[in-house]
Amino acid sequence: MNYTGIRNNETIPISTIPELDYSSFLELNVFTLLNTAGSHCVSYFGFPWFDKIKLICCIAKDEQNSICISSSVIDMKQPLPSFSNYKLVFEKFEREIHENFGINYTDHPWLKPVRFPFNRFDKSSNIANYPFFKIESEELHEVGVGPIHAGIIEPGHFRFICNGEQILHLEIQLGYQHRGVEQLFLDKKKLLQRVVLAENIAGDSAAGHTVAFVNLWESLCKFQPGRDLQLSRTIALELERIAVHTGDLSGMCTDVAYQLGSAVYGRLRTPVINYFQKWCGNRLAKGLVRVGKNNYPITQTLADELLVLFEEYEKDFEEISEELFSLPSTLARFEKTGVVTTEQAALVGTVGMSARMSELKRDIRFSHPHDLYPELRHEPVLRNQGDVYSRGRIRKKEIDQSMGYIRELIQNLPSVEAADQLGNPIPNSFAISLVEGWRGEICHCAITGDNGDLIHYKIKDPSFHNWLAMALAVRNNEISDFPICNKSFDLSYCGHDL
């Protein structure tokens, strides 16, 4: 075997990951493993290994519920043939490896900076001198937007090349949000510090990233979470999905000037996030998910309140949704705007909702289920148009689905068990955790050293894959449709920049 097949949330000794020479490593991952629609790259990264770089590639096989891990050790000075030359899905992973360690690729389509991290290899490149793509023409003009945007959102720069009102090309430059999160996971030694870090990776996915971290850490420590822990985590993930999807529908209404929809969805989000506050003291679920313990078990009272909340929410939600998705003025803006075809989605390797709107069946809840998802037998919601309308409809359907799941889960509340003592992480191990956040697949990987402490921590937010899909979606659209395209994807800047 030239790779190791493992399950979601499994820990293995790092010595059991086969180490291949680079050309076999490329051959294996690009041609043998990545050969069906159900296989996709969930993470590919390098880290210092003695005086060389160890590359680890993780390809998920959705049909077999397994993740294939392989590795290769390379010399930093040796230029390499790129994976991206064959499969574009590796494009950003290799740019990151290049940016961090100075490894050169002989045939990468565009080795541009990813996020200008503080520990980048080439210190002479900085965020003010990003090499934008240019087209020489008297008819075309460029529009630069950001890093600071008109609304209250995170910073990022968008550079459009337009022909009149029409967008020919969009290049997205990120990195403004870089806080050095991955390094801080190594530097901050207390477990609580690391949990709080996970909560602050992306504020709209506090539950998503924290569940990924705690599942990973518990796996590293061989801790088996009880049913009440798994229940709380599953409900937190689904409730976060409902809250953010509702907020996004509000934002989409704002961007097509449907004021009523904006106000109604906006106020419908309030009781959902207030529920998080009743449950754990924070509107965005910070403080809720912890390693090896449950500070806030779901009580019968809390469960009953949730049912009442859904009953009230559903009435108004269905009413406004029926109106939104049948109103000619909104449909004119939603339909056939910002299209990503199935082929394009597969080419760039989109994940989560952005994949499902282009009929790509990618959903960790279905392919690599964790916590209580195996019992729910999740079937992903799919659309096939890949436009703004699809992204809106998927949100609506997923909210309905999530409410159904939560109702099912809280029918029988488990008794709260005294948790086992949490041990220490196993030394010299590799662990991976995949979680389907509301935005898509979140992947955390950890590697421990001789004394069991972290020597590398790798985070991948779904936005890492999906930003390129957004850049493709706006091509040939009017530049005035850019805000609605951007909002309908709602990708994370801080999750990307880390």
Partner 1 sequence: MFNNLKIVLHQGKQYIPDIATAQVPGIFRGRPVISTLNVDEAELVEICPTNAISGNPLSIDLGRCVFCGECALAYPDKIKFTTDYKIATNDRQKLIIAEGKDEPVDLNPELIRKEISSYFSGSLKLRQVCAGGDGSCEMELNACSNVNFDMGRFGIEFVASPRHADGVVITGPITSNMAQPLQICYDAIPEPKIIILAGTDAISGGIFEGSPALDRDFLRKYKIDLYVPGNPIHPLTFINGVLQLIRKRI
Among residues 189, 191, 182, 135, which one has the least CA distance to residue 162?
135
| Least Å from the CB of residue 109 to partner 1 | 25
Beta-strand (E) ranges in 25-106?
Answer: 39-49, 52-61, 66-74
CA-to-CA dists, residue 205 to 391, 436, 471, angstroms: 18, 10, 22
| Least Å from the CB of residue 495 to partner 1 | 8
| Least Å from the CB of residue 30 to partner 1 | 33
Q: Which is nearer to partner 1, 50 or 118 (CB)?
A: 118
Residue 494 host element (H or E): helix 494-497
| Least Å from the CB of residue 377 to partner 1 | 32
Amino acid at 322: E
CB 177 within 8 A of CB 491: no
Q: Which is nearer to partner 1, 321 or 358 (CB)?
A: 321
- Which residues within the stretch 102-131 sit at the binding site for partner 1 (CB under 8 A)? 116-119, 127-128
Q: Which is nearer to partner 1, 12 or 479 (CB)?
A: 479
- Which residues within the stretch 173-212 sit at the binding site for partner 1 (CB under 8 A)? 175-181, 183-184, 187-188, 190, 192-193, 195-197, 200-204, 206
Task: Report residue 439 CA to chain centroid gap.
Answer: 6
Q: Which is nearer to partner 1, 327 or 455 (CB)?
A: 327
- Which residues within the stretch 242-281 sit at the binding site for partner 1 (CB under 8 A)? 247, 260, 263-264, 266-267, 270, 274, 277-281
Q: Which is nearer to partner 1, 2 or 200 (CB)?
A: 200
Could you say which DSSP state residue 9 is in?
T
User: Which of 75, 122, 316, 417 touches partner 1 by CB under 8 A?
Assistant: 316
Among residues 130, 131, 74, which one has the least CA distance to residue 102?
74
Amino acid at 156: G
Among residues 289, 284, 249, which one has the least CA distance to residue 265?
249
In sequence order, which residues have a C-beta less than 8 Å from that of residue 461 and are 6 or more positions away? 201, 202, 205, 209, 439, 442, 492, 495, 496, 498
Among residues 364, 361, 360, 353, which one has the least CA distance to residue 388?
353
| Least Å from the CB of residue 221 to partner 1 | 19
| Least Å from the CB of residue 189 to partner 1 | 11
Q: Identify the three-state secondary structure at position 246.
A: helix
| Least Å from the CB of residue 470 to partner 1 | 17
Binding residues for partner 1, rule: CB under 8 A, are 116-119, 127-128, 147-148, 150-155, 175-181, 183-184, 187-188, 190, 192-193, 195-197, 200-204, 206, 247, 260, 263-264, 266-267, 270, 274, 277-284, 286-287, 295, 315-316, 319-320, 323, 492-494, 497
